[in-house]
Amino acid sequence: MNVGLLTLEIAVVMLGVLLLLADLWLPAGYRRPLGLAAAAGLGLLLVLSCTGAFGLAETGTAFGGRFVQDALSLFFKRLFLLTGVVVLLMAVEFADRFRGGVTEYYSLVLFALSGMMLAASAQDLVLLFVAMELMTVTFYVLTAYQRTRRVSVEAGVKYLILGALASAFMVLGIALVWGTTGRMHFAELAMVSDGYAEHPLFVAGVVLILAGLGFKLAAVPFQVWAPDVYEGAPTPTAALLAAGSKAAGVVLLLRFLFTAVPEVTERGATLAMVVAGATILYGNLCALPQRNLKRLLGYSSIAHAGYLLLGVAALSRSGQSAVLFYLLAYALTVLAAFLVVTLVLRHLAAEDVSGLAGLHERAPFLAATLTLAMVSLAGIPPLAGFFGKFLLIRSVVEQAAQQPAYWGLAAVAVVGVVISLYYYLRVVRVLWWDRPAENAAPVELPQILRFAAAVCVVGMLYLGLFPARALGWAEQAARALAY
């Protein structure tokens, strides 16, 4: 079975279990720093996977080919580990607002990461569903973890109801696909999908599976949960949703569309374009009036799901590699934004944008970090967000010679970028030009979080100014897709 290929997933799960055991024996005063130990453990796994030590970068298949470790899965697993390190560091700073159960929160983050890592290697509909549920069920708890806050519990309930509905869609879709073809493995589905491309039950099953994946991406018309959940969830949870859960949904979408049902994917190019364009416009237009910073980032995440779908709709290798590059850039950017939100707005009753007023005087480094994050999310050069959007739009324009409808999609993407400038730069204006309130609390920046923010800032600048190496990684990973 080659179980050794699951070493990374097993290590992350065991780390979560060890945290729970340590919580039983250590005094209460030592429980909060366990998050630092967990972050260090994930960082060590990230370094080992990059160096290939202990066979952590070994490629191959397990469980009859249902689990695959290739360049694509390793790209995403390293992204998830990086995300987990930053989220755990944020959680350590956020721990005093949980009122108990701090170690359990750290463990749940690790279990969610293990689900994301399984998703990166899924080559079978059953493993796809198991990975999705491991992530989703964990996020139900993580979202409502501040059980003394009404808005947090409400967000958890909404996420539970809509997530269960999305899971039901996916189960029904898997049943229809299996019932019509008798196959679950992606490679076997690819061999027969052309013959079933006109079969109504098979097509309905594919659409229902895509509906479940669309929920993870917060793509139209499955986006309604995102703003409420981002607003009500603890800030580290919202960061993990934005950077980790979305990436897991993307890798599942790419593998399913381009490995399992490539013929159906080609015939659905028009639908993909419509969904991408609608998602971009919905996210950006709804973000315009938002004053709550986390809610604004929630609508922003919807818009960015639309940009990611540009590369999917392009149906090309360049589009796939652009999606991977953009995910890396987006993860670094949105983690930096949520890190600042965690530190600056912790003393406020609400996460209103006005709470950032005069941050350049109270914490210049944090003001600069959030400024760069907003500029990168807006797609302004020379930061990573600009080059990522450029690659995605270019992949769409390349297809316009064969299908003129792609020109319309590219125009919608550009309009979305222009709209987003207003609400992103409004945050920058508050940071640097608005005067802080007289009772504004000083912002303390722990050294470990200063380092995490610096890593995100350096990453945004490096990917924007010197994108060649990261783009090479993305292109190498995209070659693993059978398209």
The dihedral sign for the CA sequence 74, 80, 82, 84: negative
Residue 179: CB partners within 8 Å, gap ≥ 6? Answer: 201, 205
pLDDT at 163 over 80: yes
Cβ atoms 301, 312 nearer than 8 A: no
Residue 13: what pLDDT? 95
Residue 336: what pLDDT? 95
**Strand 60-62 with 67-69, pairing:** antiparallel
Q: What is the pLDDT of residues 166-217, one digit of tens each?
A: 999 999 999 999 999 989 999 899 998 888 888 899 999 999 999 999 998 9
Residue 348: what pLDDT? 64
Cβ atoms 89, 39 nearer than 8 A: yes
> Could you tell me the two tokens for 369?
């970090």
pTM for the complete prediction? 0.95
Q: Residue 162: phi, psi to the nearest 5?
A: -70, -35
Q: What is the pLDDT of residues 32-90, one digit of tens each?
A: 788 899 999 999 999 999 887 767 778 888 888 899 999 999 999 999 999 999 999 99
The pLDDT-based confidence of 113 (bands split at 50, 70, 90) is very high
Angstrom distance (rounded) from CA 49 to CA 84: 15
DSSP 222: S
CB pairs under 8 A, 24+ apart, for 190-196?
Answer: 190/259, 190/260, 190/261, 190/262, 190/482, 193/260, 193/261, 193/262, 193/263, 193/264, 194/263
Q: What is the pLDDT of residues 328-381, one digit of tens each?
A: 999 999 999 999 988 887 766 567 888 888 888 888 899 999 999 999 999 999
Where b means 16+ CB within 10 Å and e means fewer, 84-110 reads bbbbbbbbbbbbeebeebbbbbbbbbb
The pLDDT-based confidence of 438 (bands split at 50, 70, 90) is low
What whole-number percentage of the chain has pLDDT above 90? 70
Stretch (H or E) spanning 147: none
Angstrom distance (rounded) from CA 37 to CA 88: 9
CB pairs under 8 A, 24+ apart, for 384-387?
Answer: 384/328, 384/329, 384/332, 384/333, 384/459, 384/460, 384/461, 384/462, 384/463, 384/464, 384/467, 385/329, 385/330, 385/333, 385/460, 385/464, 386/464, 387/325, 387/329, 387/463, 387/464, 387/467
**Mean of pLDDT over the chain:** 90
Closest Cα partner for 481 from 186, 173, 131, 127? 186
The pLDDT-based confidence of 295 (bands split at 50, 70, 90) is very high
Angstrom distance (rounded) from CA 73 to CA 240: 18
Angstrom distance (rounded) from CA 135 to CA 132: 5
